[in-house]
Structure 1
Amino acid sequence: MKRLLYFFICFGLLIFWSSCRNDFEFSPSTGNLEFARDTVYLDTVFNNIGSSTYNLKVYNRSDEDIVIPTIQLERGNGSFYRLNVDGGTGNEGSPEEGKFFENVELLANDSLFIFVETTIDIAALPTLDNEFLYTDRILFDGGSNQQDVDLVTLVRDAVFIYPDFQGTSTVFENLNFDVDGDGMVDETSLPGRFLDNTELTFTNEKPYVIYGYAAVPEGETLTIEAGARVHFHADSGILVTNNATLNINGAASTDPQLLENEVILEGDRLEPLFEDVPGQWGTIYLFNGSVNNTINHATIKNATIGVLAEGNDDAVTDKLTITNSQIYNTSSFGILGRATSITAENVVINNSGQSSFAGTVGGKYNFTHCTIANYWNNSFRQFPALLLNDFTQVDESTIGTNPLVEANFNNCIVYGNDNPEFILDQQGDDFNFKFTNCLLRFDNSNLEGTTNYVFSDDTYYDSNIFNEDPDFKAPFDNLMNIGEDSGANGIGSTLFSMQVPFDLLNTSRAATPDAGAYESVILDD
């Protein structure tokens, strides 16, 4: 009985207290809202591809609860922007949804969030160009009380390459081709489609955006011209099939910031937040049987594996020749070779979740004036910057080996933030390698002096320097230029610098060349 009486007393006091409050009597806004910023910049988006979600915080600094009569987009229902005000879309189901809001309440000394997105059709804009600056305004109230915040987005037109959907579903079709070389078409789990003849040249006129794997048909060549920009959606890439070829034909640039003639391959998220995020897309897959692939003056970044090359280690010509190129921020490997043949000159690889370069299951590898570094700091990595082995696990009890015919590293830097930064994992009898005039990081008393790590044996090690600071400019930011105090300064052999007379920046190599892809310079503070 006492509990019941206590309940009615409390309930009555609550009713009396509420009836006396005027906190929920909202006054009209007087145009004194404050905003976290006066312009919301939605970073560059591709034509017809949705943006990320951006936010704007709106403040009521007064001591009164207010109601904002209207919040709307100046372009009205025709605007390509969409708003969400504190979780509401406004006039749901109508053409004004996400465009127009009425009587938005805002408590005294409180704030609300407005979330902004856009998907822009560049063909519907009054000026059709490869790039278009699209703007609008969020209007708060009207008349003398009106306030506004600008919205700005740079839109890029692009060439889109994507597979067909499976029937009426929203799932892309998978690639089907002869995987094992038996003459029969095999089903794969790779989403994508084969490029047609009109798509086998990527120019620099518009960026390319690829969904799934863009596959080069048997016997055909995909040519990517100087200055081209190729963007990949998640789990996408390029696949080069049997007797097909990839030629990336970048050229030296005059502006080291713009890299106007470089071919750049990266993800399709253009916001600064994603600029250096690893694993945004798949790989450039040089499938077993593809031939004479070349990559020159390219930057490959933010992939899972930058380049995956497999097979053809017994071919007369190399599977891949890569020159004057950079590979950064791969969540797994920069270059992964499997029983293949690769020649690399003036190549920089850095920041890989596993190894920057791995030559596995034997093969043939020749690297000259390359910087193979790994300053990965996103997580623990299992492998060093450079990994060589000659085997594969066939099943739980069987290891299959394949000869490492040759693996030569000349005038190179092999370094990183771990130790040691190269591992030579031999299982078979035919394991041939040599480091000549290189700067190497290896300081491990347990391994030094054992098989493959006898550094006094000039059959395998000739004129190398160990464990001296390479003096990279900013390796965690992929600035791999070396300073005058570098341990790589002047240690190179002219025998190899004559083969590669200019560095990655097209600077002539000195009479006493430096190891690595760059000649040393005076570094800025």
Structure 2
Amino acid sequence: MREKLLLILVILVWIGCSTKEESVSFDPNLSLIFSNDSVSFDTLLSEKRSSTRRLTVYNPNEAAIEISEISLGKSSSDYSLIINGKETNASSGERIFGGDSILILVEVNVQSRNRDLPYLVKDSIIFRWNTNEEHVKLVSYGQDGNIINSEVICDETWTNDRPYIVSDTVVVGPNCRLNIEKGAKIYFENDAIMFVQGTLKAIGDSAEHVVFRNARFDGIYDQVPGQWNGIYFLEGSVDNEVVFADIFNGQIGLRVGTPDDDDIPDLMISNSTIYNMSTAGILAFTSDVHVTNTLVFNCGNYLAGGFAGGNYTYLHCTLSNEPALFIQDEPTVQFSDNIVISETELLTGDLNVNIINSIIWGTADEELLINNGGGAQVIAILQSNIIKSNSEIPNNFTSREINFPGFQNAFLYDYQLDTLAFAQNKATDIGVSIDLTGKNRDDLPDIGAFERIEKE
């Protein structure tokens, strides 16, 4: 009997507590708390669904509240909702127990407005309960683009009016030319790729760079490697230029396979930045590549590589894989007169490497490798470089000291030189009059892509 009374008492207490939290109150003084007063998205390409944003609605009161209406403000909206697990843009009778909450997920799929400039896309989520009304603003910007899907193009000019979105493959045909103007932006969908059989001229300036990047830039996608394939220069491609360009978040930034019988550069890169590449920044095979005032960082296997021979020149470049998202024990800057084709076959070619006034740095003990294992002729000119190495290299500076070059803050990927940088005033004057940013170099130039000018 005593046990039965105790059980009844426990049940009554449980019912009392549950009733207090679950009993709906219509008191207009009861408030709700929202995790945000607005939900915002980064600029989004039109016709592309965004990532999801979260909004939590919390009931801080002891009594339950029944929300009579949750809905989008516009009947035709670019936004969509998932309310407490249900895909719906309007809901009624959502009950929040005392001290509990509900979760609302918000997405946006911006419909094209056929405009060149970004445009504001707004709406709101309306909450009504107990004669109260609250609006949570929804804000994003849409950007229309030119869609490129499995196209072969010839003698075109891409402007900076609106971005170009490569959804699959784009090919610059043989004996054709693609001009990309300053300020133009080229966005690549997942695994999208550009092949150049003819000529690419991507010419920006110090104020308006040409941008090659992934097509998603909301949330975490803004700094994730490997989201698109790369730009591939194929055999027969000649006279290519990439100037004042930013290339990032792909697999291979620039891949060059343009074998020929001369040493005239088939690709000239200057004043550009290549980073967040899952495989390589610049990767070349039996090709002629000339690179000046260029920064390459945070790449998987190679910051720069030239294999099976070729002619490679790097002047006033900063190549750094410290820090890096990738674990890399091998040198990230490599050149070789050969490449393995099969277990019994090597592809070999004469190799000429010129690296002057550059910084080669990273997390490996040795960051530069020049391999002559193919038996071809190898000529390497290294002068006035800072190289991560245990060995002395004549006419160069080698060290394994932490931040020996003197970067301002490598861990924030800031590779400009600090006030006491070792790299200051130690370069050889080779006539490169400006640095990566377009700033004039002084009479005692600095090693690397950046020139530090002390303010008077």
TM-score calculated relative to the size of structure 1 = 0.80
Task: Please show how residues 2-13 of structure 1 align to structure 2 within 5 Å.
Answer: none
Task: Go from structure 1 to structure 2 and tell me whether the alpha carbon gap of 1:129 and 1:395 turns closer, same or farther (over 3 Å shift).
Answer: closer
Any conservation in 2 of the 1:391–1:399 contact (CA below 8 Å)?
no
Equivalent of 1:160 in 143, 147, 167: 147
Task: Go from structure 1 to structure 2 and tell me whether the alpha carbon gap of 1:342 and 1:41 turns closer, same or farther (over 3 Å shift).
Answer: same
- Give 1:137's aligned residue: 124
Deviation of 1:316 after TM superposition, in Å, equals 4.8
Amino acid at match of 1:195: I
Any conservation in 2 of the 1:437–1:492 contact (CA below 8 Å)?
yes
The alignment partner of 2:378 has SS state of coil
Deviation of 1:102 after TM superposition, in Å, equals 1.0
State the alpha-carbon separation in 2 of the partners of residues 11 and 303 from structure 1.
65
- Give 2:82's aligned residue: 84
Any conservation in 2 of the 1:29–1:69 contact (CA below 8 Å)?
no
Deviates more, 1:371-380 or 1:357-366: 371-380
1:395-437: per-residue Cα shift (whole Å, max 9, x none)?
Answer: 22x1414224310001111112332111223212222212111
State the alpha-carbon separation in 2 of the partners of residues 10 and 305 from structure 1.
72
- Give 2:449's aligned residue: 517
TM-score calculated relative to the size of structure 2 = 0.91
State the alpha-carbon separation in 1 of the partners of residues 25 and 222 from structure 2.
45
- Give 2:239's aligned residue: 292
- Give 1:99's aligned residue: 89
- Give 2:274's aligned residue: 327
Task: Please show how residues 245-284 of structure 1 align to structure 2 within 5 Å.
Answer: 245-253=199-207, 261-284=208-231
- Report the identity percentage: 28
Deviation of 1:43 after TM superposition, in Å, equals 1.6
Which consecutive residues of structure 2, in runs of 5 or more, have no partner in the other structure?
none
Any conservation in 1 of the 2:22–2:98 contact (CA below 8 Å)?
no
Task: Go from structure 1 to structure 2 and tell me whether the alpha carbon gap of 1:234 and 1:27 turns closer, same or farther (over 3 Å shift).
Answer: same
Equivalent of 1:227 in 163, 176, 183: 183
Any conservation in 2 of the 1:373–1:415 contact (CA below 8 Å)?
yes
State the alpha-carbon separation in 2 of the partners of residues 114 and 216 from structure 1.
46
State the alpha-carbon separation in 1 of the partners of residues 417 and 153 from structure 2.
41
Task: Go from structure 1 to structure 2 and tell me whether the alpha carbon gap of 1:142 and 1:409 turns closer, same or farther (over 3 Å shift).
Answer: same
Say if 2:387 is the partner of 1:412: no
State the alpha-carbon separation in 2 of the partners of residues 240 and 521 from structure 1.
38
Task: Please show how residues 363-378 of structure 1 align to structure 2 within 5 Å.
Answer: 363-378=310-325
The alignment partner of 1:511 has SS state of coil
Task: Go from structure 1 to structure 2 and tell me whether the alpha carbon gap of 1:158 and 1:28 turns closer, same or farther (over 3 Å shift).
Answer: farther
Structure 1 runs of 4+ aligned residues shifted over 6 Å read 8-20
Query: Considering only aligned residues, what root-mean-square deviation do their CA atoms show, in Å?
Result: 2.5
Amino acid at match of 1:117: E
Task: Please show how residues 336-485 of structure 1 align to structure 2 within 5 Å.
Answer: 336-396=283-343, 398-429=344-375, 430-443=377-390, 448=391, 455=393, 461=394, 463-467=395-399, 469-485=404-420
1:257-292: per-residue Cα shift (whole Å, max 9, x none)?
Answer: xxxx11011111122532222112110111122111
Any conservation in 2 of the 1:74–1:136 contact (CA below 8 Å)?
yes
Any conservation in 1 of the 2:249–2:277 contact (CA below 8 Å)?
yes
1:90-146: per-residue Cα shift (whole Å, max 9, x none)?
Answer: xxxxxxxx221111111110111100001121329xxx5521111111010168411
- Give 1:451's aligned residue: none
The alignment partner of 2:113 has SS state of helix
Give aligned pairs, total.
Answer: 446
Task: Go from structure 1 to structure 2 and tell me whether the alpha carbon gap of 1:307 and 1:52 turns closer, same or farther (over 3 Å shift).
Answer: same
Amino acid at match of 1:113: L
Deviates more, 1:30-39 or 1:79-88: 30-39
Deviation of 1:311 after TM superposition, in Å, equals 2.8
